[in-house]
Structure 1
């Protein structure tokens, strides 16, 4: 910034709080875990900085994460009475969007703690007339040093000091002002940075498509009704807003495997053809149940494609001058539903998508079945005395996670 003129430099200082902003990215990931199929939650992938980086066990116990941002709160004059501080401890909502599908979801976030390192104009011992550094910090404030939070804020066990500085961190169970009253006047002071812990509520990833979902939430810094990180009228931040940019990465699994040789299916009566060949009764069913293995963590759809079809559920089979029909139905493992009900012998149709099929948890390599069968009316046309033939066709089953 050009500071060659004194009045330009002054103008820059006066406009910083309303013009400047701080952005921080918060990233979370969902990947299905075969060892924990019921764990349908996002994992926070934002590197901890500040409080949780220094005291990881404390944050792990409370399932919170922290970020330190370079925002400095400067006193506007002497601190003769005290400081009132409030942060957005209530849940806030924001909308995240998958730009590829335009799907939207709601994320909630709340601030569960805050802290900083205050820097005094002189040592606390000199300001209070004490000789011991810690005693100076304890005497400077009416309710002991800043390791002890003022209600409704709560103690976190964190405190570190030098002669002129004191690092603190307080938990914020509710959104309300926490006051620290001075016992001695302080000519000036500042908070070196802003350190806060946060908690997330994320949507159920099993109902989301794969991809990145993004959205932002902006907080005001300063004092007044529109400012969420409010350290009172006597402490002015050098940035006007804090924007949290959320990125939720959904990486679903959809995989279908056939056992060896499962791509070649032979239809025959139960017990084989020998009874019919030896002059026995016409078989009541000609079919084959082909198993497969499916892994799925999100909704998907299925479509059948016939080599030849008149449409609907039936594919045509040809051979030796004969023609017949075959239908395909599908059974899926427990944990996957269609319209809220288990999937049992669900009919598939030529070039018509069936779905959405929805897992209620991560299904990892569970067994499904494709039921191929010649309808009874087609059996009557096919099996004529003295006529033998081998009929075949190709049937393709397509599985797609883009629903």
Structure 2
């Protein structure tokens, strides 16, 4: 007897949902992009990749430190700040001279799927700060020298609670520095040993650290979100009371792209299922007794990086499953089940072993990969139970057929 299985054309399903337009507000200030795309060569790496171009600090000056710390750098070329009064030598109040305080603590921001409205949380913190500063000459850069400490070391060695990177590039009247800012760090400051009539910052370079959500639990497509930091005295970016920045806020706009894989491959001829007893028909005929069941296990291979569900459609419906019918119109129910490879959770960390496929979808409404399952084997199980098969044996020589459609659907 024969049984036909057809598959909907979902053998390859690549999800990539985008937004054609962005508002002008999203194009302002700084933009951070990250992408998740499963890597067959590294299936256990299930995290976003930061695709934002990095500035020269992490690209050329301290790349090893940045990689070790998991931080990335950006440069704001439009930033500047100018002192509103002279900076006195050896001033007591750090707010009256050179001071920097950045939002080094973790902040939450919400990103929203462009199509579905689903939301996820991204965390951001500023992990380093630097700039190009200018002073009048005379006295020039030597104004920063303190007794027993060369002026260059004042900037190469960061003041507590900031930490050194060793970066310093300078001339006679300017310097470029960069310091790390530990989580929750307070202000860092330097004071000159000679009075400076003015101080100017040109550009600001900063490092940031990201915590991104689990992409395996996210829908394919693009997520947008933003976070705004205040700038100025008492703000998130605080340069003291003397240095006046040219902007009052800095906004980071995020675009997270999720490109999932869901691919199912059936071997050639695997869409046509013939149900047979254990050992084949000839073995049962030689024994002279009826078989106890009719069944067939059909293997397939699956690649999945996102949640999915499985559904069943039938040409012949019998209760909550499919049916088989002969030429006389006699029908018997067909039981269909699925076994999925390890690494795919079938509800509460349960392995998926011979999970029944039903028309109402109960039990197969959510499968969650715990990592990128790449080209792993699974099995579809087809069976006519013993009691149902007894009815078929009353019709010797009959052929029972039916069509069942098994669907792997990422739209959960």
Please indicate the TM-score interval, normalised by the length of the shorter structure. 0.7 to 0.9
Higher relative contact order, structure no. (Cα contacts within 8 Å, ≥ 6 residues apart): 2
Give the Cα–Cα distance (whole angstroms) in 1 for the partners of residues 386 and 72 of structure 2.
63
The answer for the alignment partner of 1:131 in structure 2 is none
1:5 is aligned to none
Deviations 1:64-114 (A, max 9, x none): 101101210111121113322101111111111113222211111111100
Deviations 1:18-67 (A, max 9, x none): xxx96211111111112222211111000002421332333122221011
Shift of 1:181: 0.9
Q: Does 1:337 align with 2:345?
A: yes
CA–CA distance in structure 2, aligned partners of residues 34 and 275 of structure 1: 44
Aligned to 1:61: 68
Secondary structure at the counterpart of residue 72 of structure 1: strand
- The CA distance in 1 between the partners of 2:51 and 2:173, in whole Å, is 35
Q: Output the aligned Cα RMSD.
A: 2.1
Q: Could you tell me whether the CA contact under 8 Å between 1:311 and 1:349 is conserved in 2?
A: no
Note the 1:233-248 alignment, pairs <5 A.
233-248=241-256
1:37 corresponding residue in structure 2? 43
In structure 1, list runs of 5 or more residues that go unmatched: 1-20, 129-133
1:392 to 378, 382, 401: 401
Instruction: Please tell me whether the aligned partners of residues 50 and 195 of structure 1 are also in contact (alpha carbons under 8 angstroms).
Output: no
Shift of 1:345: 0.8
The within-5 A match list for 1:93-108 is 93-108=108-123
Q: Secondary structure at the match of 2:186?
A: coil
- Alignment match of 2:308 (pick from 300, 307, 311): 300
1:127 aligned onto 2:167 = no
In structure 2, distance between residues paired with 1:244 and 1:347? 48
Instruction: Provide Cα deviations, 1:235-271, integer angstroms capped at 9, x if missing partner.
Output: 1111111000111111111110001211111101111
Q: Using structure 2 for the length normalisation, give the TM-score.
A: 0.85
1:358, distance to aligned residue in structure 2 (A): 0.8
**Pairing 1:103-182 to 2, within 5 Å after superposition:** 103-122=118-137, 126-127=138-139, 138=145, 144-145=151-152, 146-173=155-182, 174-182=184-192
Structure 1 residues 61 and 278: CA distance shift in structure 2, 3 A: closer
- The separation in 1 between residues aligned to 2:187 and 2:375, in whole angstroms, is 53
2:207 to 186, 193, 197: 197
Cα gap change, 1:78/1:244 in structure 2, threshold over 3 Å: closer, same or farther?
same
Contact 1:95 1:106 in 2 (8 A): yes
Following the alignment from structure 2 to structure 1, what is the Cα–Cα distance between the partners of residues 71 and 325? 61
Q: Secondary structure at the match of 1:28?
A: strand
The count of residues paired between Structure 1 and Structure 2 equals 372
Match of 2:261 among 248, 253, 273: 253
